[in-house]
Amino acid sequence: MKSLQMCSTAACYKSLLAFLALTIITACDQTDQQKLPVKKVVIEEEKMPQVQVKVERLEQQLFSIKKREEVVSFLKNHPAFCQDYLDIPNASQERVLVDKFLNLYSNAALRSWNQEVQKEYGDFSELSAPLNAAFSYVKYYYPKDRIPEVNTIVTGFQFDRDFSFSDSLIVVSIDYLMPDSASYKPDMFGYILKRYKKEYLVPMMMMAVSSKYNEHNPKDETMLANIIHYGKAHYFVERMMPDLHDSLNIGYSAKELKETEENLGVVWGHFIEKKLFFETNPKLIQKYCGESPKVVAIGDNCPGRIGRWLGWQIIRKYMKEHPEVSLQQLMKEKDANKLFKESKFKGPISPAK
């Protein structure tokens, strides 16, 4: 896999029999299961505020720069970008940085790469509709909160940062999110890189936005606390983007998602059998909730981050059981054990009504 060059140039694999055995054990609990509860909450159109997110294409300005003074002016005019994305509040005063920007955006290789990126993203109109719709939902649920502006940039991966998020500004290095056919790719594991596509951009933003509202108990370091926290985040994305396919929310392929849904009983049975919910070992929590290609302790085809997916299903069940609870109340709830118990989640469940 090519990288863009700048300047001068615990558990062993489960056997199929073991996997099938666990499936058979839990099959009796799945006889009434058709689908997971995926009834999405859609707000009536006339009740929705109409938000137009301001998008500024920084790369278009940067590639027009010819002189050092123009770099200084750009950095002075974009203090939030300097603070949030570069982590350098007074960037215009940093001579080394100014020179880096000048050299970077006059580089022929980066200019060529930018042309490829611009062909993929065009005038950003393809993303404007889902972006505006998602933030309209944010404004509906949190009417007093400010809607952040969005900056796009092309960096050639030189700042080692895909995007930054604050209450007022989201900066996206859009060349990180390119199709498989792109000439260059960031230095990431393949199982992570498969999610770095244009269609994941707005869901990624909504995951970032969820962190603003997703309260938790920092003293609770259990597996349960982790999966519930992630579950709330994915549920938040679902509410902001009710038309979004679940695969784009969780970052599984359609095949992975289908197989995971079909084997909910297997996943649930594993967590129960291994007494994982109140586990506090960070390595075990990482194994089930962190980035990985597979969770082979459950099965050869079990995708990574399975704990996050299970947490999402628990939160869905909780909200199904408690229709009186608002999204805002859910996100403020810090007691993971309460959400778990009151969800009455016991593995495979009937479809949403």
Closest by CA position to 100, among listed 111, 92, 109: 92
Supply the DSSP string of 121-179, one letter for each residue.
HTTSHHHHHHHHHHHHHHHHHSTTSPPPEEEEE--TTTT--SEEE-SSEEEEEGGGS--
Confidence (pLDDT) at 41 = 86
Average pLDDT over residues 48-69: 96
Per-residue pLDDT tens digits for 90-146 = 999 999 999 999 999 999 999 999 999 999 999 999 999 999 999 999 999 999 999
- Is pLDDT of 25 > 70? no
Q: Name the region of 171 (left: φ>0; alpha: ψ -120 to 50; beta: rest).
A: beta
3-state secondary structure of 47: helix
Instruction: Write the DSSP symbol of residue 93.
Output: G
Residue listed under structure tokens 């959400």: 339
Q: CB-based contacts of 322: which residues, under 8 Å, 6+ apart?
A: 342
Q: 153 pLDDT band (50/70/90 cuts)?
A: very high
Confidence (pLDDT) at 14 = 33
Domain range list for the chain: 16-42+214-343, 47-196
Instruction: Write the DSSP symbol of residue 302.
Output: P
What is the pairing mode between strands 169-173 and 149-153?
parallel
Mean of pLDDT over the chain: 89
Kindly list the strands in the beta sheet with 55-57, ordered across the sheet, starting from the edge strand earlier in the chain. 55-57, 149-153, 169-173, 163-165
Query: Dihedral of CA 25/27/29/35: which sign?
Result: positive
Asked if 130 and 177 count as a contact pair (C-beta separation under 8 A), the reply is no
Average pLDDT over residues 255-268: 96
